[in-house]
Structure 1
Amino acid sequence: MSCSNSLAQVQKVVEQLRIEASMERTKISFTAIDLVQYCLDHRRSDPLITGIAASSNPFKDKKSCVLL
């Protein structure tokens, strides 16, 4: 009984690998170039690069923390 379960599992894995192998893939070099270009085009509006103005930051502490 376990042999048939094992065989069924192996057949499922082989079928999945066949499906994955037959998929058309995008070349990485084109994707990387597109990603770099996107980052360069949008760097002015990226808050991780430009930062957030203190006046428009809703998470800025109103007071400083004082320890006694």
Structure 2
Amino acid sequence: MCSSNSVIQAQKLVDQLRVEAGMERIKQISLTAADLVRYCQEHRRHDPLLTGIAASSNPFKDKKSCVLL
């Protein structure tokens, strides 16, 4: 039973590798990376990870302050 299980797993792996081998790859990866860098630089003013979120528009800000008694 264990050997039939490993044969099934091996067949699934082979099928997956065939699918991956048949995929069309990006030939000019450096141009794609340059496009990504340019896009990030053009949109950095609107990126909340870089600019932060204004306290007035932050939906996760605590509404009440913590008071210790």
- For structure 2, the 5+ residue unaligned runs are none
Paired residues in the alignment total 68
Identity %: 74
What is the TM-score of this pair, normalised by structure 2? 0.62
Q: Distance in 2 between matches of 1:58 and 1:11?
A: 49
Residue 25 (structure 1) aligns with: 25
Describe the shift of the 1:9–1:53 C-alpha distance in structure 2 as closer, same or farther (beyond 3 A).
Answer: closer
**Structure 1 ranges of 4+ moved more than 4 A:** 1-9
Q: CA RMSD in A?
A: 2.6
Corresponding position: 1:67 with 2:68 = yes
Residue 52 (structure 1) aligns with: 53
Describe the shift of the 1:67–1:21 C-alpha distance in structure 2 as closer, same or farther (beyond 3 A).
Answer: same
Q: Distance in 1 between matches of 2:22 and 2:48?
A: 40
